[in-house]
Structure 1
């Protein structure tokens, strides 16, 4: 029979500490005194507030496979600092008849009722100690922050962290000033990014934006927990220039909102190369607004991290609406007419349901246009046929009239849809998968059927399957 092992476990919270060697030596001395052979030493450099530690996982695996006779630690809080975690470890060891030996808590045992009570008390003290440490750290951070000291050694471009504060790096600071001046002259994130390529590390549009929003450059520290204070370091940008930049940014955001394409597939299309959700971009040409879905990761990394892709929003969305019209005419309208004929109650009287179904049939057969359908459906709805909002992911039967109205609005793609209609579409569509030479759109509809849209280039052919 294989002899069970004596396992020593040591832990320290951060790499800045140096208590691992002390714990090992103390355990080895005690093992030599009582005549134990330490077969293995497992260690972790991680917080005791989590069970996600490599050394602890290996230890528990050995316990589970019945390979351990005893676990030796310097203190019980080396195994963990949460009562729930320590009780879980204690139960696992008790089930496999594994003894936990703590050098600083010699009365510790889980084999008797009194020993279990003692174990729980020590576990509670370990958690209390951790809570006190966190409170003291928070108080220390708050005191240092109020004095203008940064909370982290991570510094923005233009500064270097030395002796607990930030020091301006002259040549980097000059580039920061240039970025702010360029933006105040009217240049955008993308142009500034290209002009500063090679001068500023990771010069992406996103990083340029973050730089322009970073109030640290004005000599102030901002923290969500502790507020805003004057730092004990030199500023690079004046407060007036920083405020001017923020006003320009806000003005651009407001202007952009007026000329924004109503993207129907927002956060639904994934890049075929990197898998990230495609971002949305609107462009105005004359009196028309064009929308595109593009890979922001490729653009921000200058196509180093991803090859990228760009898709015309109008092309994809027209195909979606055509597929919805086909689905309406072949599956939903006939069922809706049948329900109306059989007198099944949804949320309106029989006459209104019949009138609505007839309008939808006329629309699906191109007897009336989208504008007429929209007008008549809204007129029916205003007569008292209200629709209760639902917080479910799948549309309910009572939501069908509102969904039909959305289809009528979306048909031309010239009308900006209301948030309600956009929400309905987000619920209706499951996901969109794109490849460089085709578009495959997967939509989960009201009845659970699936629509696939496939095509090449700008020409999309719609095929349907259930």
Structure 2
């Protein structure tokens, strides 16, 4: 009996769209994370790993959607293949079953390393571009996620004990951004003269 075809899609921010990642790929169920791939702390990834069974196939658009670094990529693929789940990367046209030969394992390592290398090149070019723009006076930084009134509201709710995860959800920002707003308030408060 053939198992289920399970899709996994991921984007880094809430406003990005996952639609194109598995467009035209036949799947029975999709797990979708809107979180950074820099680590494995992603709720839908964990749910997907718990959900799949022997004989299922997990389909992912590309290796960088599953993990941003080689260690995490190998770990996730291993966790799935140990459960006798097949992992297919659509863009790279690669499949892994756990019964893979030395060539398949080499391909996973090489392709994963290239994806990690490509990501670091992108970050490096981005930093260089920002530095050049700053020299020209053309760089203004990112637009703040919250205006001053919303930021004040967030700080007020945090001070009253509302959990950071709930604040992130209510304000449509990441927990990291919640903490950044709270840190920036602490920096702007100057100590009383003594």
Show structure 2 runs of 5+ residues with no match: 149-183
Question: What is the match of residue 87 of structure 1?
Answer: 74
Residue 21 of structure 2 is aligned to residue 23 of structure 1: yes
- Change in Cα spacing, 1:135 to 1:68, as seen in structure 2 (3 Å) is farther
| CA deviation map 1:126-183 (0-9, x unaligned) | 111221122122223323333443323229988xxxxxxxxxxxxxxxxxxxxxxxxx
Give, in angstroms, the shift of residue 82 of structure 1: 0.7
- Change in Cα spacing, 1:122 to 1:207, as seen in structure 2 (3 Å) is closer
SS in 1 for 2:25: helix
Q: Within 5 Å, which residues of 2 pair with 1:214-233?
A: none
Question: What is the match of residue 188 of structure 2?
Answer: 210
Q: Do the aligned residues in 2 keep the contact of 1:13 with 1:46 (CA within 8 Å)?
A: yes
- Change in Cα spacing, 1:68 to 1:54, as seen in structure 2 (3 Å) is farther
Structural RMSD (CA): 3.1
| CA deviation map 1:243-302 (0-9, x unaligned) | xxxxxx8xx74xx2xxxxxxxxxxxxxxxxxxxxxxxxxxxxxxxxxxxxxxxxxxxxxx
Q: Within 5 Å, which residues of 2 pair with 1:45-60?
A: 45-60=34-49
User: Structure 1 length as normaliser, TM-score?
Assistant: 0.30
SS in 1 for 2:119: helix
Residue 11 of structure 2 is aligned to residue 12 of structure 1: yes
Question: Please, which of 105, 108, 123 is the counterpart of residue 119 of structure 1?
Answer: 108
Greater RCO, CA 8 A, separation 6+? 2
User: Structure 2 length as normaliser, TM-score?
Assistant: 0.67
- Change in Cα spacing, 1:208 to 1:40, as seen in structure 2 (3 Å) is closer
User: How many Å separate the matches in 2 of 1:155 and 1:146?
Assistant: 25
User: How many Å separate the matches in 1 of 2:115 and 2:35?
Assistant: 15
- Change in Cα spacing, 1:157 to 1:130, as seen in structure 2 (3 Å) is closer
Question: What is the match of residue 154 of structure 1?
Answer: 144
User: How many Å separate the matches in 2 of 1:11 and 1:156?
Assistant: 24
Residue 64 of structure 2 is aligned to residue 77 of structure 1: yes
Q: Do the aligned residues in 1 keep the contact of 2:54 with 2:85 (CA within 8 Å)?
A: no
User: How many Å separate the matches in 1 of 2:122 and 2:16?
Assistant: 15
Moved segments of 4+, more than 6 Å: 155-158
Q: Do the aligned residues in 1 keep the contact of 2:81 with 2:87 (CA within 8 Å)?
A: no
User: How many Å separate the matches in 1 of 2:145 and 2:94?
Assistant: 48
SS in 2 for 1:26: coil
Name the larger-Rg structure.
Answer: 1
Question: Please, which of 114, 119, 131 is the counterpart of residue 142 of structure 1?
Answer: 131
Question: What is the match of residue 344 of structure 1?
Answer: none
Q: Do the aligned residues in 2 keep the contact of 1:49 with 1:81 (CA within 8 Å)?
A: yes
Give, in angstroms, the shift of residue 87 of structure 1: 0.7
User: How many Å separate the matches in 2 of 1:135 and 1:93?
Assistant: 32
Show structure 1 runs of 5+ residues with no match: 29-37, 159-205, 214-248, 257-466
Which one has a larger percent strand, Structure 1 or Structure 2? 1
- Change in Cα spacing, 1:143 to 1:155, as seen in structure 2 (3 Å) is farther
- Change in Cα spacing, 1:54 to 1:209, as seen in structure 2 (3 Å) is closer
Which one has a larger percent helix, Structure 1 or Structure 2? 2
